[in-house]
Amino acid sequence: MTTTGPTTDLLTLAPQTGTGFLLRTGQQLTVVDPTGGQVSDLYCFAAQDHDERLSSGRTIDYANSIYVTTGHTLYSNRSRPMLTIVEDTCGRHDFLLTPCSQDTFDLLYPEFEGAYHPSCLENLTSGLAQFGVVADQVGTTLNIFMNVWPEPGGELHIDPPTSVAGDRLVFRAEMDLHVGLTACSAEKSNGGVCKPIAYRVDDAD
Amino acid sequence: MTTTGPTTDLLTLAPQTGTGFLLRTGQQLTVVDPTGGQVSDLYCFAAQDHDERLSSGRTIDYANSIYVTTGHTLYSNRSRPMLTIVEDTCGRHDFLLTPCSQDTFDLLYPEFEGAYHPSCLENLTSGLAQFGVVADQVGTTLNIFMNVWPEPGGELHIDPPTSVAGDRLVFRAEMDLHVGLTACSAEKSNGGVCKPIAYRVDDAD
């Protein structure tokens, strides 16, 4: 699908980088795939208490679906709404897999021979460090635009994202949040080439 | 499938209860469904540091499957092996959904009208309280014998367990663990009736 709304005034995350920011209740976060075929990992904490954090398990349970899209709420581990998806022009995002990490590359991608590799876990942790977050606290991310699907027997496939240039996912914050966001670092998840991600925070109308 | 090994000397969890215990490196934990059709939720922490805990996302990622069975390793959020599945006579367990909680019943089961309901989250927290664990720390559980499957479009079905009397799942501990284990409290997940669960801890050979 093509972008029909404003995509001006976007901030850009360079390939294999990330950031962290405060998103206040009612503000909207727009995450845009500027080139198509690029994943962005998102994780968040309640700004007032980091013991409350994004929960894939609660969200999947309450959505009764492994996929989330427009109208779905992302829940915390305390079963409180954190984010609501208000627009989704892509329709395929993953909420099963943890952010790529040095361990991911070490365990799953022997072609890197254990060498240092940028990762979403490192970039989320760096982006959220300003709020005191450490890596142990980062759970399963919403992997925006990531195209993961299970066979009936459970085996997972990680295919190139279906997103095209300009596709976007828009969230409304249901509480004050500390948000970490990346341009995913894993070549395999991004059609072989890691590309930028764009995003914007808008105040409530 | 029928049980072919010893099931003597089992401890019993009454319906809608749970427990917590230390499982040392190399010990085996056997979880048995004594009647068939009953789910048991499991969560665990590294005994020496509760910031290291069971990670469904890491496990699913490294198994490349939403289902785990004999030979699969359950990983921590630090990508270290916590438990290895050494025997599985059932073949269907869930690792997508969080333990049932008061919030689950409030949000998903209006027939309970918001009244108190026993839950796996309460029982895991009670069982692990002796080690200082609180509810916020309990993430997505391995829901042993729980029969959850997604349609191609992502919608989840929670069907009665396929387990029959005597079916068991056996784990080997790869590090010292604080383990929480329940006889699941959610009628819907257990064919309409909550039943007991049996378990045993064996020392290494």
Residue-wise pLDDT for A143-202, tens only, equals 999 999 999 999 999 999 999 999 999 999 999 999 999 999 999 999 999 999 999 999
Instruction: Please check the confidence at residue A34 and state whether its pLDDT lies above 90.
Output: yes
In B, minimum Cα distance to A96 occurs at B57
C-alpha triplet A48, A43, B44: angle, nearest 5°: 90
Nearest to B199 by CA among B184, B185, B182: B182
Answer for the pair A14, A71: CB distance below 8 angstroms, yes or no.
Answer: no
pLDDT of residue A204: 79
Q: Which residue of B has its CA nearest to A69?
A: B154
pLDDT average, residue stretch A18-27: 98
DSSP B161: P
ipTM exceeding the 0.90 mark: yes
Distance between CA atoms of residues B190 and B103, nearest Å? 18
Query: How far from chain centre, in Å, is Cα B107?
Result: 22
Q: How far is A92 from chain B (nearest CA, A)?
A: 10
Test the A interface: residue of B77, B100, B142 with most A CBs within 10 Å: B77
Decide: A124 and A142 in contact? Cβ < 8 Å.
no
What is the distance in angstroms between the Cα of A80 and the nearest Cα belonging to chain B? 9
For range A32-53, the mean pLDDT: 98
What letters, b where the CB count within 10 A reaches 16 and e where it falls short, cover A17-45? bbbbbebeeebbbbbbbbbbbbbbbbbbb
- Residue B165 Cα distances to A148, B140, B147, angstroms: 35, 26, 16
CB pairs < 8 Å spanning A and B: 104
Element (H, E) at B62: helix B56-63
Pick the range with the lowest mean pLDDT from A53-67, A103-117, B78-92.
Answer: A103-117
Task: Collect all residues of chain A within an 8 Å Cβ-Cβ radius of residue B104.
Answer: 61, 79
CA angle, residues A62, A63, A65, in degrees to nearest 5: 125
Helices (H) and strands (E) in chain A, counts: 3, 13
DSSP state letter for A175: S
Which DSSP state fits B89? S
Residues B51-73, buried b or exposed e (16+ Cβ, 10 A)?
ebbbbbbbbbbbbebbbbbeebb
Paired tokens of B109: 């089961």
Q: Are A13 and A203 in contact (CB under 8 A)?
A: no
| B199 contacts B31 by C-beta, under 8 angstroms | yes
User: What's the CA dihedral at A184, A187, A193, A198 to 10 degrees?
Assistant: -10
Tell me the shortest Cα–Cα distance from A44 to chain B, in angstroms: 15
Reported as a single tens digit per residue, the pLDDT across B93-135 is: 999 999 999 999 999 988 888 899 999 999 999 999 999 999 9
> Which residue, among A134, A139, A126, has the nearest Cα to A44 in the 3D structure?
A139
Among A191, A194, A192, A172, residue whose Cα is nearest residue A183: A194
Min CA distance, A168 vs chain B (Å)?
Answer: 20
Residues 6+ apart with CB under 8 A from B205: none
- Say whether A96 and B96 touch across the interface (CB within 8 A): yes
A57 contacts B97? CB cut-off 8 A: yes
